[in-house]
């Protein structure tokens, strides 16, 4: 099982973090994870989930309530608890790129599925398989296109300013 859990009451792709970890607060006027001269973060979200939930829900959720609204609330509540108990976890990686070629290669691997295949070997471990038992598990990954485009724009600007190593990213963008 992953050492990270999704935060309760959050959508699956909200930032996951180890218990007790604090959210970092960006400086005013700076995007999360970005400071002067620091390359942009590309946020990679990785989530493991069971391939099939229908039979578990069908067998594990029932209600004897007569009122339709009460029945619906009870069924929803039971299904919600059952699905949370089956949560295999997620992890968020903030990746910094300092070279445009590496960012482009990463994005290409994401789009063509090579990144997903490579991450399966890292995240779908024997421990995860044992935790899942006989059920099939799939891995979902997500990279925000806006993060990629912003990183690409900044790294292009950095390259175009003729950086010889003496200036940082902020100086090139001013």
* pLDDT given for residue 16 in this prediction: 44
Does 12 reside within a domain?
A: no
Total number of domains constituting the chain? 1
- The residue ranking higher by pLDDT, 11 or 46, is 46
Q: Which domain holds residue 113?
A: 41-52+90-173
The pLDDT of residue 75: 92
Average pLDDT over residues 144-164: 82
Residue 139 lies in a domain: yes
Residue 158, in any domain of the structure: yes
Alpha carbon distance 28, 45 (integer Å): 25
Q: Residue 167 in 3-state DSSP?
A: coil
Ranges of H-type helices in the chain = 54-60, 68-85, 100-112, 114-123, 126-132, 145-160, 169-173
Cα–Cα distance between 160 and 58 in angstroms, integer?
58
pLDDT in tens, 79-122: 999 988 888 888 999 999 888 999 999 999 999 999 999 999 88
Give me the pLDDT at residue 22, please.
Answer: 44
Asked if the structure places residue 159 within a domain, the reply is yes
């Amino acid at each position: 099982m992953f050492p990270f859990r999704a935060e309760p009451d959050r959508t699956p792709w909200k930032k996951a973090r180890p218990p007790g970890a604090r959210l970092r607060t960006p400086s005013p006027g700076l995007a999360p994870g970005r400071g002067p001269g620091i390359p942009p973060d590309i946020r990679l979200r990785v989530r493991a989930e069971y391939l099939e939930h229908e039979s578990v829900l069908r067998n594990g959720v029932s209600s004897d309530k007569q009122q339709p609204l009460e029945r619906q609330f009870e069924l929803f509540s039971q299904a919600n608890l059952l699905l949370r108990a089956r949560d295999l976890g997620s992890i968020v990686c903030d990746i910094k790129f300092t070279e445009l070629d590496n960012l482009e290669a990463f994005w290409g691997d994401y789009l063509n599925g090579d990144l997903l295949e490579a991450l399966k070997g890292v995240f779908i471990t024997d421990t995860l398989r044992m935790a899942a038992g006989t059920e099939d598990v799939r891995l979902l990954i997500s990279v925000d296109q806006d993060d990629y485009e912003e990183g690409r724009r900044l790294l292009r600007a950095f390259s175009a300013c003729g950086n010889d190593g003496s200036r940082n990213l902020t100086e090139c963008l001013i």
